[in-house]
Amino acid sequence: MSHGWLLQRERGSRFALCLITWIALHLGRAPARALVYPICVYFLLFAGRARRASRQYLQRVLGCRANIMHVGRHFHSFGSTILDRVFLLTERYEQFDVSVHGAQSISQRVQEGQGCLLLGAHLGSFEIMRTLGIDKARLPISVLMYEDNAAKTIDIAKKLNPELASTIIPIGSVDSMLLVKEKLDQGQLVGLLGDRTLVHEKIVHCSFLGERAVFPAGPMLLAAAVQAPVFLCFGLYRGGNRYEIHCELFAERVDIPRAGSGQELQHWVQRYADRLEHYCRVAPYNWFNLYDFWAVAAP
Protein backbone atom coordinates (compact mmCIF):
# COMPACT_ATOMS: atom_id res chain seq x y z
CA MET A 1 0.00 0.00 0.00
CA SER A 2 1.10 3.62 -0.31
CA HIS A 3 1.66 5.87 2.67
CA GLY A 4 3.52 8.33 0.44
CA TRP A 5 1.64 11.32 1.77
CA LEU A 6 2.96 10.56 5.28
CA LEU A 7 6.54 10.59 4.02
CA GLN A 8 6.30 13.89 2.17
CA ARG A 9 7.68 16.88 4.03
CA GLU A 10 5.46 19.92 4.33
CA ARG A 11 6.93 22.28 1.73
CA GLY A 12 7.43 25.97 2.38
CA SER A 13 8.95 27.78 5.33
CA ARG A 14 6.81 29.27 8.06
CA PHE A 15 8.04 32.72 6.98
CA ALA A 16 6.84 32.17 3.39
CA LEU A 17 3.45 30.97 4.57
CA CYS A 18 3.11 33.94 6.91
CA LEU A 19 4.16 36.33 4.13
CA ILE A 20 1.52 35.01 1.73
CA THR A 21 -1.07 35.20 4.51
CA TRP A 22 -0.09 38.82 5.26
CA ILE A 23 -0.35 39.77 1.59
CA ALA A 24 -3.75 38.09 1.31
CA LEU A 25 -5.17 39.89 4.34
CA HIS A 26 -3.62 43.33 3.76
CA LEU A 27 -3.43 43.67 -0.03
CA GLY A 28 -6.42 41.55 -1.05
CA ARG A 29 -7.22 38.38 -2.91
CA ALA A 30 -6.14 39.52 -6.39
CA PRO A 31 -2.49 40.34 -5.48
CA ALA A 32 -2.28 37.16 -3.42
CA ARG A 33 -3.62 35.07 -6.32
CA ALA A 34 -0.90 36.54 -8.55
CA LEU A 35 1.62 34.81 -6.27
CA VAL A 36 0.06 31.43 -6.96
CA TYR A 37 1.56 31.38 -10.47
CA PRO A 38 5.25 31.62 -9.49
CA ILE A 39 4.59 29.13 -6.69
CA CYS A 40 3.19 26.71 -9.27
CA VAL A 41 6.27 27.21 -11.46
CA TYR A 42 8.46 26.41 -8.45
CA PHE A 43 6.60 23.15 -7.86
CA LEU A 44 6.71 22.25 -11.56
CA LEU A 45 10.49 22.68 -11.52
CA PHE A 46 11.45 21.23 -8.16
CA ALA A 47 8.66 18.93 -6.91
CA GLY A 48 9.34 15.97 -9.17
CA ARG A 49 7.41 13.44 -7.10
CA ALA A 50 4.29 15.60 -6.98
CA ARG A 51 4.62 16.41 -10.69
CA ARG A 52 4.78 12.71 -11.62
CA ALA A 53 1.88 11.86 -9.31
CA SER A 54 -0.24 14.63 -10.84
CA ARG A 55 0.45 13.42 -14.38
CA GLN A 56 -0.31 9.83 -13.37
CA TYR A 57 -3.68 10.80 -11.87
CA LEU A 58 -4.66 13.20 -14.67
CA GLN A 59 -3.99 10.60 -17.36
CA ARG A 60 -6.38 8.25 -15.60
CA VAL A 61 -9.15 10.76 -14.96
CA LEU A 62 -8.88 12.61 -18.30
CA GLY A 63 -8.30 9.51 -20.41
CA CYS A 64 -5.49 11.17 -22.39
CA ARG A 65 -1.81 11.95 -22.11
CA ALA A 66 -1.32 14.71 -19.51
CA ASN A 67 1.20 17.40 -20.43
CA ILE A 68 2.90 20.10 -18.38
CA MET A 69 -0.04 22.47 -18.91
CA HIS A 70 -2.43 19.95 -17.37
CA VAL A 71 -0.13 19.50 -14.38
CA GLY A 72 0.27 23.27 -14.01
CA ARG A 73 -3.49 23.71 -13.94
CA HIS A 74 -3.72 20.97 -11.31
CA PHE A 75 -1.13 22.72 -9.12
CA HIS A 76 -2.85 26.06 -9.62
CA SER A 77 -6.19 24.65 -8.42
CA PHE A 78 -4.45 23.27 -5.35
CA GLY A 79 -2.70 26.57 -4.60
CA SER A 80 -5.93 28.52 -5.10
CA THR A 81 -7.86 26.44 -2.58
CA ILE A 82 -5.05 26.73 -0.02
CA LEU A 83 -4.97 30.52 -0.45
CA ASP A 84 -8.74 30.77 -0.14
CA ARG A 85 -8.55 29.16 3.29
CA VAL A 86 -7.13 32.45 4.57
CA PHE A 87 -10.27 34.33 3.54
CA LEU A 88 -12.61 31.59 4.75
CA LEU A 89 -10.98 31.34 8.17
CA THR A 90 -11.22 35.12 8.58
CA GLU A 91 -14.90 35.04 7.52
CA ARG A 92 -14.49 37.12 4.35
CA TYR A 93 -17.31 35.25 2.67
CA GLU A 94 -18.15 38.08 0.28
CA GLN A 95 -15.07 37.10 -1.72
CA PHE A 96 -16.76 33.96 -3.03
CA ASP A 97 -19.55 32.85 -5.33
CA VAL A 98 -20.75 29.56 -3.87
CA SER A 99 -23.61 27.30 -4.93
CA VAL A 100 -24.79 24.67 -2.47
CA HIS A 101 -26.53 21.41 -3.40
CA GLY A 102 -28.08 19.03 -0.88
CA ALA A 103 -27.07 20.66 2.40
CA GLN A 104 -30.70 21.16 3.44
CA SER A 105 -30.97 17.48 4.38
CA ILE A 106 -28.05 17.84 6.79
CA SER A 107 -29.52 20.99 8.35
CA GLN A 108 -32.82 19.21 8.90
CA ARG A 109 -31.15 16.29 10.68
CA VAL A 110 -29.28 18.63 13.05
CA GLN A 111 -32.44 20.61 13.78
CA GLU A 112 -34.07 17.32 14.77
CA GLY A 113 -31.17 16.58 17.13
CA GLN A 114 -29.61 13.83 15.02
CA GLY A 115 -25.82 13.80 14.66
CA CYS A 116 -24.29 12.92 11.28
CA LEU A 117 -20.93 11.96 9.83
CA LEU A 118 -19.76 14.07 6.88
CA LEU A 119 -17.43 12.02 4.71
CA GLY A 120 -15.22 13.89 2.26
CA ALA A 121 -11.89 13.49 0.49
CA HIS A 122 -8.85 15.50 -0.52
CA LEU A 123 -11.01 16.80 -3.33
CA GLY A 124 -11.51 20.53 -3.73
CA SER A 125 -11.91 22.42 -0.46
CA PHE A 126 -13.31 20.82 2.67
CA GLU A 127 -12.90 24.26 4.24
CA ILE A 128 -15.42 25.88 1.87
CA MET A 129 -17.90 23.14 2.71
CA ARG A 130 -17.27 23.43 6.45
CA THR A 131 -17.35 27.22 6.53
CA LEU A 132 -20.05 28.24 4.07
CA GLY A 133 -22.05 25.04 3.74
CA ILE A 134 -22.20 24.32 7.45
CA ASP A 135 -20.81 27.04 9.74
CA LYS A 136 -22.70 29.83 8.02
CA ALA A 137 -25.86 27.92 8.84
CA ARG A 138 -24.60 27.79 12.44
CA LEU A 139 -24.45 23.99 12.45
CA PRO A 140 -21.93 22.63 14.99
CA ILE A 141 -19.18 20.61 13.31
CA SER A 142 -15.96 18.96 14.46
CA VAL A 143 -13.35 17.47 12.15
CA LEU A 144 -11.24 14.34 12.57
CA MET A 145 -7.78 15.34 11.36
CA TYR A 146 -4.23 14.00 11.11
CA GLU A 147 -2.21 17.09 12.02
CA ASP A 148 1.43 15.99 11.89
CA ASN A 149 1.92 16.32 8.13
CA ALA A 150 0.75 19.94 7.86
CA ALA A 151 1.74 21.40 11.21
CA LYS A 152 2.86 24.77 9.81
CA THR A 153 -0.31 25.32 7.81
CA ILE A 154 -2.58 24.21 10.65
CA ASP A 155 -0.72 26.44 13.12
CA ILE A 156 -1.32 29.49 10.92
CA ALA A 157 -4.97 28.48 10.43
CA LYS A 158 -5.45 28.32 14.19
CA LYS A 159 -3.97 31.80 14.58
CA LEU A 160 -6.34 33.15 11.93
CA ASN A 161 -9.30 31.49 13.61
CA PRO A 162 -8.62 30.46 17.23
CA GLU A 163 -11.97 28.70 17.46
CA LEU A 164 -10.68 26.19 14.90
CA ALA A 165 -8.57 24.43 17.54
CA SER A 166 -11.67 23.49 19.53
CA THR A 167 -13.26 21.81 16.50
CA ILE A 168 -10.36 19.44 15.69
CA ILE A 169 -10.41 15.84 16.91
CA PRO A 170 -6.88 14.45 16.39
CA ILE A 171 -6.74 11.09 14.62
CA GLY A 172 -4.90 8.50 16.67
CA SER A 173 -5.50 9.91 20.13
CA VAL A 174 -6.73 7.56 22.83
CA ASP A 175 -10.09 9.27 23.23
CA SER A 176 -10.79 10.09 19.55
CA MET A 177 -13.59 7.55 19.26
CA LEU A 178 -15.20 8.71 22.51
CA LEU A 179 -15.12 12.34 21.36
CA VAL A 180 -16.75 11.43 18.04
CA LYS A 181 -19.51 9.49 19.80
CA GLU A 182 -20.05 12.35 22.26
CA LYS A 183 -20.42 14.93 19.46
CA LEU A 184 -22.85 12.75 17.53
CA ASP A 185 -24.94 12.02 20.64
CA GLN A 186 -25.22 15.79 21.13
CA GLY A 187 -26.72 16.11 17.64
CA GLN A 188 -23.58 17.61 16.11
CA LEU A 189 -21.70 16.91 12.89
CA VAL A 190 -18.33 15.20 12.58
CA GLY A 191 -16.37 15.50 9.34
CA LEU A 192 -13.60 13.21 8.14
CA LEU A 193 -11.78 12.38 4.92
CA GLY A 194 -11.79 8.85 3.55
CA ASP A 195 -9.09 8.63 0.88
CA ARG A 196 -5.76 8.35 2.72
CA THR A 197 -4.39 5.44 4.72
CA LEU A 198 -2.34 5.57 7.89
CA VAL A 199 0.43 3.16 8.88
CA HIS A 200 -0.92 -0.01 10.52
CA GLU A 201 -4.48 0.90 9.50
CA LYS A 202 -6.79 -1.75 8.09
CA ILE A 203 -7.10 -1.26 4.33
CA VAL A 204 -9.44 -2.28 1.52
CA HIS A 205 -8.47 -2.75 -2.12
CA CYS A 206 -10.93 -1.08 -4.48
CA SER A 207 -11.26 -0.29 -8.15
CA PHE A 208 -10.61 3.42 -8.65
CA LEU A 209 -10.20 5.18 -12.00
CA GLY A 210 -9.66 1.88 -13.76
CA GLU A 211 -7.04 0.34 -11.47
CA ARG A 212 -6.77 -1.24 -8.04
CA ALA A 213 -6.07 1.25 -5.26
CA VAL A 214 -5.91 1.15 -1.48
CA PHE A 215 -8.47 2.92 0.70
CA PRO A 216 -8.67 3.06 4.51
CA ALA A 217 -11.25 0.91 6.25
CA GLY A 218 -11.35 3.23 9.25
CA PRO A 219 -14.09 5.65 8.11
CA MET A 220 -16.54 2.83 7.36
CA LEU A 221 -15.70 0.97 10.56
CA LEU A 222 -16.26 4.20 12.48
CA ALA A 223 -19.60 4.73 10.74
CA ALA A 224 -20.63 1.17 11.58
CA ALA A 225 -19.64 1.65 15.23
CA VAL A 226 -21.52 4.91 15.80
CA GLN A 227 -24.55 4.00 13.65
CA ALA A 228 -25.07 7.58 12.52
CA PRO A 229 -26.26 8.75 9.08
CA VAL A 230 -23.39 9.34 6.66
CA PHE A 231 -23.39 12.15 4.09
CA LEU A 232 -20.82 12.62 1.34
CA CYS A 233 -19.67 16.25 1.12
CA PHE A 234 -17.38 17.79 -1.49
CA GLY A 235 -16.52 21.47 -2.05
CA LEU A 236 -15.45 21.67 -5.71
CA TYR A 237 -13.31 24.57 -6.89
CA ARG A 238 -14.59 25.86 -10.26
CA GLY A 239 -12.06 28.59 -10.99
CA GLY A 240 -11.82 32.25 -10.02
CA ASN A 241 -13.91 32.73 -6.88
CA ARG A 242 -16.48 30.04 -7.70
CA TYR A 243 -17.16 26.92 -5.65
CA GLU A 244 -19.84 24.22 -5.70
CA ILE A 245 -20.75 22.37 -2.51
CA HIS A 246 -22.27 18.93 -3.12
CA CYS A 247 -23.83 16.93 -0.27
CA GLU A 248 -25.60 13.60 -0.72
CA LEU A 249 -26.86 10.92 1.63
CA PHE A 250 -24.46 7.98 1.52
CA ALA A 251 -26.23 5.75 4.05
CA GLU A 252 -28.76 6.05 6.85
CA ARG A 253 -26.41 3.71 8.66
CA VAL A 254 -23.49 1.51 7.68
CA ASP A 255 -23.90 -2.12 8.76
CA ILE A 256 -20.74 -4.22 8.99
CA PRO A 257 -21.20 -7.34 11.16
CA ARG A 258 -18.22 -7.97 13.42
CA ALA A 259 -18.12 -11.64 12.42
CA GLY A 260 -18.63 -10.90 8.73
CA SER A 261 -16.43 -12.19 5.91
CA GLY A 262 -15.26 -8.71 4.93
CA GLN A 263 -17.61 -8.52 1.96
CA GLU A 264 -19.75 -5.91 3.70
CA LEU A 265 -16.72 -3.74 4.40
CA GLN A 266 -15.57 -4.15 0.79
CA HIS A 267 -19.03 -3.14 -0.43
CA TRP A 268 -19.14 0.10 1.56
CA VAL A 269 -15.59 1.22 0.79
CA GLN A 270 -16.01 0.44 -2.92
CA ARG A 271 -19.23 2.42 -2.94
CA TYR A 272 -17.34 5.38 -1.48
CA ALA A 273 -14.58 4.96 -4.08
CA ASP A 274 -17.19 4.93 -6.85
CA ARG A 275 -18.73 8.21 -5.70
CA LEU A 276 -15.30 9.77 -5.28
CA GLU A 277 -14.45 8.71 -8.84
CA HIS A 278 -17.67 10.33 -10.05
CA TYR A 279 -16.76 13.69 -8.51
CA CYS A 280 -13.15 13.42 -9.70
CA ARG A 281 -14.52 13.18 -13.24
CA VAL A 282 -16.87 16.11 -12.60
CA ALA A 283 -13.94 18.30 -11.44
CA PRO A 284 -10.73 16.50 -12.49
CA TYR A 285 -8.30 19.19 -11.33
CA ASN A 286 -9.66 19.10 -7.78
CA TRP A 287 -8.11 15.90 -6.40
CA PHE A 288 -5.04 16.79 -4.35
CA ASN A 289 -3.37 13.51 -3.42
CA LEU A 290 -0.04 14.43 -4.96
CA TYR A 291 1.74 11.13 -4.31
CA ASP A 292 1.65 7.69 -5.95
CA PHE A 293 -1.86 6.77 -4.86
CA TRP A 294 -1.89 3.48 -6.77
CA ALA A 295 1.39 2.13 -5.41
CA VAL A 296 0.98 -1.29 -3.77
CA ALA A 297 3.70 -2.57 -1.47
CA ALA A 298 5.19 -5.99 -2.05
CA PRO A 299 4.13 -8.65 0.48
Q: For the stretch 42-68, what's the b/e string if a residue is b when 16 or more beta carbons lie within 10 angstroms of its beta carbon? A: ebbeebeebbebbbbbbebbeeeebee
Closest CA to 199 of 149, 151, 155, 152: 149
* Alpha helical stretches, state H, 161-250: 176-185, 218-226
125-158 residue pLDDT tens = 988 877 765 656 678 889 998 766 556 667 777 7
pTM: predicted TM-score of the whole model, two decimal places: 0.90
**pLDDT above 80 (res 42):** yes
Q: What is the dihedral angle through the alpha carbons of 156, 98, 94, 132, rounded to the nearest 10 degrees? A: -50
pLDDT confidence of residue 296: 60
Residues 103-132: tens digit of each pLDDT: 889 989 999 999 999 999 999 998 887 776
Q: What is the pLDDT of residue 7?
A: 41
Is the pLDDT score of 287 beyond 60? Answer: yes
With a cut of 70, say whether residue 297 has pLDDT above it: no
Q: Kindly list the distances between the CA atom of residue 86 and the CA atoms of 24, 158, 286, in Å, as whole numbers in the listed order.
A: 7, 11, 18
Cβ atoms of 120 and 230 closer than 8 Å: no
Confidence category of residue 166, pLDDT binned at 50, 70, 90: confident
- Quick: pLDDT tens for 60-115: 999 999 999 999 999 999 999 999 989 988 888 899 999 999 988 998 999 999 99
DSSP designation for 201? -
Residues 36, 53: Cα–Cα separation, whole Å: 20
Domain ranges in the chain are 4-286
Give the tens place of pLDDT for each residue, 214-226: 999 999 999 999 9
Average pLDDT value over all residues in the chain: 87
Q: Is the pLDDT of residue 198 over 90?
A: no
Question: Given this model, what pLDDT does residue 135 score?
Answer: 59
Cβ-based neighbours of 215, under 8 Å, separated by 6 or more: 194, 195, 197, 203, 204, 205, 206, 208, 269, 272, 273
